[in-house]
Structures are given as structure tokens and as C-alpha cells.
Structure 1
Amino acid sequence: MVIARWGQGAVAGIVAILLAGGDARAQEGTASSPPSGEIVVEAQLEEVERKVETLTRRITRRPRTDKPISRRYSAICVGVHGLTESFAHVLIDRVEDNARELGIPVLGPGCQVNTLIAFTSDSRAEIERLRKAEPWLFDTLLDYEYDRIMRGNGAVQAWQATEVKGADGKEFATMVVGNPPREVQMNKQPFASNISQQLRVDIEGSIVVFDNAHVPGKSLQQLADYATMRLFAPTDDVSEGGGAGVPTILSLFAEAGDAPDGLTSFDRAYLGALYKLPPTARGAAIHDATWSAYRSANYEVAETAD
């Protein structure tokens, strides 16, 4: 059964995930406050910048060639499968609050689930089964993108269905050209630009599948915030080696090290930067934008005398 914020609802095909059982249990945690206004000298700041950039590159899924970085523009309807109702609503509330902070609209009563968080007994096997039983869920993925889903330690798999649109959010128009005639997709924008592509990539649906064997010991806040990073941004987890010296909730399932209680200062900087970038921004733009947001929230540079 899928539990949605305001009742029942699911996109056709996503229902296939509901065949997997499991009642993963977790307890709600408490938020941790990020550091703010720390004064550092320039040399220290350069080292922090290097670490932030390394982590940003590590987690960001590279966009397809010549395509902007993807993000969510339309409203979300969050559903949870595999948790008891009381736990599911706590999880949903947290994810929705995170979405609102990013300016992502949240649908109301009667909505159809387009953002699913599932808990299953074997996440990898479930994804393989879905690929055969419901291939349309993977229609927008290339082979290498599917391979990325299956990476990691098996604790969680995540992917997003995307659609390329015009920079103004309009879908491409279908036109018939040539002899013999053939259908082509046309991007009808009000103006052309030689500086930037007039494209954006919309996340139309997102799925995160947790493996029940890896859930014990994780709080609902940790699970919700981890899901937030995977649902609303094109990210990979940090399954080995931690976060390069920078805390991130994406290390929740890392084999070594203590995971943070929720979204960290880096995570909030990354998400905030992503959702402030222009729709046509390429993947590389997230690197400088994340560091700028992270530094602004956390550090002041100490003035040094000659």
C-alpha cells in the first residue's frame, strides 16, 4: 500500500513497486544546526573550497552531453511504501518541508504520486524485476544511466524520469518535414541565443528504493533528508570513504564513519544553489554555485596584516 500525504494515489506502473513487502522501522531524529559565521584565514578557506568542490563533483550525476543540469519544476506528490502509516506521514512531512524550502510546490488532497519512497526486502532485485515488468519507467534512461542506479553497496537505488523542454518550460512541438515526410521535435522559443541553449531538463518523477536490511539504526529524519537529496537533485550517494572531509547526508549508508543527523550545511548549500541556477545552466555551474552558497552560509575571511 502506498501512503500519500493526503490519502491514496499512484502513477500507473509505479504501483508495481508496491508488490515488494517489508515494514522498515525507524525513529524520528532531531535536526542539527549548521555552523555559521566562522572566521577563517585565506589558506584554510582554500582547503575547505577544495574539499567542497571535490564532494560536489563526486555526488553530481553528469548531465547528458550538451544538456542542462536537471531539477524539479512541477509540483510533487510524495508517497511512501513499506512503512507503517504513522512513520510514513512523518517521512512525507519532512520531505515536503524540504521541498517547500527549495520553492518546489507540493500538491494537495487527491494528488497522484510522482515522488515515491519505497522500502523493500531486496532493492536491487526489485529494480531488475521492474525493468522487465514495467519498462516504461526506464524509458528516459540510457544504458549508462541505468548502470548508475545499480552502483553502490545495495542499500538504496534511485532514479529520475526527465524530459527535455524549452527554456520557458514548454514541451517541444511535433512537426512534419521532408520528403518522404517525417516527424521531428521543434523547440519553439520566443527568441534564439548563441550564448546558451534554450533548453531545460525537467524532473517529472523520482523514485528512491531503500533496502530494508540497511535501514535499522537510521532515523526518519535521516531517511527523509537522504531521500530529499536523491529525489530533487541528480546525485549519487557516498557509499565509500565518507564525504572527503565535508559532512553530507549522502554518506548515510557509507561503510565507515558517522552519518549526520540530517541535511548538512553542504547539502543545503548544494540544493539551494541548484534551485537558484538559471534553467539553462550546465552541470559544471553547480560547482562554483555550491561553494559560493556554502561559504556565504558558514565563513568569513579573517583580515590579515602585511
Structure 2
Amino acid sequence: MIQKFARSALVGMAACAAMAGGAAAAQDQDDSQGSIIVSGELPEPSDIRGTVRAVMQERGNNDPLYRYLDPLCLHVTGMAAEANAFVRERMLANAAEAEIELAEEGCTANAIVFVVQEPVELLALLEDRQPWILTADDRRRVEHEAGEGEAVLVWHNFEDRSAEGNRMAHSAAIPGATGSAPPLNVQTRVNTRAQARRVGATHSTAVQSGVVVLDMDHLVGMDLERISDFATMRLLAPGLIPFGHQFDTPTSITSPFIAEDGETEMTRFDRAYLRALYSLQPNAAANRLPAAILREYEGEG
């Protein structure tokens, strides 16, 4: 059952059903020794690579991967204070395990998780008070998804950086221009240190901010651990688009996100995905991710 404090924290979620803990590997118990022996085979490498390609937004292209390059500053809101704190701490623990740098206390949030009863009303409020948080394209998409009753809304704002992940300086000069070449009419970000490369892009792409909105009505029957782990993957892996893919082998917390169905915590695949994503250099191309995830997956004990 949902933890006692969580049951009171999630308004309207008192009638939570018990979660069945299904294990992927077969288990044999030795009664005489009181030990549990777990047996089973790892998925084939082709299955891992195939799953990554199926759920990657980048589809294995040569553009840089999307991810946080700045320290993560997370804010969770919408529930009782104790529940917000639990979800935040578990998500930060997941991030630390993936070796994602965490910001100091008192930082300005660049990652937000909302748990709300009416996502449409939240979007209207954000558009009125903080219109910069949603681009026009993202607004149209998430407003449509909210109108369709989707359980989760996710969007990220991105910024091009140098190949090393550093912010680009504002400049009116044209890099490499000499002689009488006129300056630009406006100050803009210019990758002044970019050089032609045989391997790797001349720039990286950083997440400036990310938002996950969870519809509370869809969370009935789920405990806070599952909510935390799902939000972790959707927030920290911007290129992960799991919907429409059937996760048979390997499995993932991201699909399906339905009460009494799907995984209840981050899986081996999820943890390998995050570790691989954040282990690659800032300008690493998206097509390097499948092999990196496979290495992390096979290397996990």
C-alpha cells in the first residue's frame, strides 16, 4: 500500500490499491539456507540498441545529445510539504547516482515537477505569469495534450553551448571575419571558440529548464517512489520519448505509466540510460548513446 504519510499527502488518493511487485527474473528460494537465488538472462545487445533507438527523440542522428549541463536545481510542488520533500529527495538521489551535478541549496530552480488536479488551469496560469517558460511550439503541443487528458506533460527549454558545454559570449563580431567585414546589427551568442572537427560537433545543447506536470487524477494507486522515479526519467532524459513503444525487453519505469500496471521503480535499463547519457562529453552525438547504454547495462552488477 502507499506509505502512510503519502496517503494523507496526495489529496483524492485515499483509495490506493496495493501494488504488485513483479520481478523480471525468475527466483528460486532455498528454504534450508534462507537465501534467494536470482536467475535469468540479460537481453540481447540488439534488443537494448533497438529499444534506445525506438524511444530516442534524436533517432540516432549526429546532433549533440540533450541534457542538463548545469548543476541540477530541483523544485517539487503541488502536494503536501512532506510528500513534495520525499519526491524531491528521491529524484536528487537518482540524479546523484547517475553522477549528475547537483546545485547548492538556495539555487534558482532549473527543473520543476508540478502535481496538479487541473493541468489546463496550470498552463493558463503559467502563460499569464511566466510566459517565457513555454515556447510557442511547446505551448501548442502541451495544451493539446492537456486537452486530451494526458497523464503527464513534459517540456524543456534548450540553449546551444560551446563544444565543452560552456555558455557562449554575446558578440556583434562575425567569427573569422577580417578586413572591412561589418559587425552584426545586434548582440547575439557566438561560438567564438568553435573549430572544425573530424569527430564531434562544434557545439553542445544544454537544458536551460525542464518541467514535468503530473495529473493527480492519474496517480491514484501509485506510491511516491514510483512517481519520483518516473519524473526523474522524464525530466533528466529530454530525448527520451517512450510513449507508443512497448517495453518488453528491457523494461522501463516510463511505460506504461498506469496504476496497477508497469514497473514500480527505475529499472536496470533506466539507470543505465541516465548513467550513459551523462557520462558522454557535452558535444557527443546522439548516435553514440545506444552503445554507451549497452556498456552501462552490461556492466551493472
Q: Which TM-score bucket, shorter chain as reference? A: 0.7 to 0.9
Match of 2:216 in 1: 212
1:160 to 150, 156, 160: 156
**In the aligned structure 2, how far is the partner of 1:277 from the partner of 1:37?**
32
Match of 1:11 in 2: none
Match of 2:289 in 1: 286
1:224 paired with 2:217, answer no
Residues 239 and 253 of structure 1 are in contact (CA less than 8 Å); yes or no, is this contact kept in structure 2?
Answer: no
Written as runs of structure 1 = structure 2, the 5 A alignment for 1:121-270 is 121-124=117-120, 126-127=122-123, 130-131=126-127, 134-139=130-135, 143=137, 147=141, 151=145, 154-177=150-173, 178-179=181-182, 181-183=184-186, 184-189=188-193, 192-236=196-240, 238-240=242-244, 242-254=246-258, 258-270=261-273
Question: What code does the residue aligned with 1:220 have?
Answer: L
1:165: Cα distance to partner?
A: 0.4
SS at match of 2:297: helix
SS at match of 1:104: coil
Residues 76 and 105 of structure 1 are in contact (CA less than 8 Å); yes or no, is this contact kept in structure 2?
Answer: yes
**In the aligned structure 1, how far is the partner of 2:288 from the partner of 2:139?**
21
Identity %: 23
1:174: Cα distance to partner?
A: 2.6
**In the aligned structure 2, how far is the partner of 1:292 from the partner of 1:57?**
15
SS at match of 1:204: strand
Residues 67 and 199 of structure 1 are in contact (CA less than 8 Å); yes or no, is this contact kept in structure 2?
Answer: no
**In the aligned structure 2, how far is the partner of 1:147 from the partner of 1:50?**
33
Match of 2:278 in 1: 275
CA RMSD in angstroms, aligned pairs only? 3.6
Extract unaligned runs of 5+ from structure 2: 1-9, 26-36, 174-180
**In the aligned structure 2, how far is the partner of 1:58 from the partner of 1:191?**
32
**In the aligned structure 2, how far is the partner of 1:126 from the partner of 1:145?**
12
Aligned residues: 269
1:236: Cα distance to partner?
A: 4.4
Q: Deviations over 1:53-84 (max 9, x none)?
A: 33212322228986301111222222111111
Residues 115 and 206 of structure 1 are in contact (CA less than 8 Å); yes or no, is this contact kept in structure 2?
Answer: yes
Match of 1:303 in 2: none
**In the aligned structure 1, how far is the partner of 2:104 from the partner of 2:19?**
26
**In the aligned structure 2, how far is the partner of 1:75 from the partner of 1:176?**
29
Written as runs of structure 1 = structure 2, the 5 A alignment for 1:59-98 is 59-62=55-58, 67-98=63-94
Following TM superposition, the consecutive aligned residue runs of length 4 or more in structure 1 with deviations greater than 6 angstroms are 26-39
Residues 29 and 222 of structure 1 are in contact (CA less than 8 Å); yes or no, is this contact kept in structure 2?
Answer: no
TM-score (norm 1): 0.73
Extract unaligned runs of 5+ from structure 1: 1-21, 299-306
**In the aligned structure 1, how far is the partner of 2:60 from the partner of 2:141?**
14
SS at match of 1:113: coil
Q: Pick closer, same or farther for the CA change 1:125–1:112 going to 2, 3 Å.
A: same
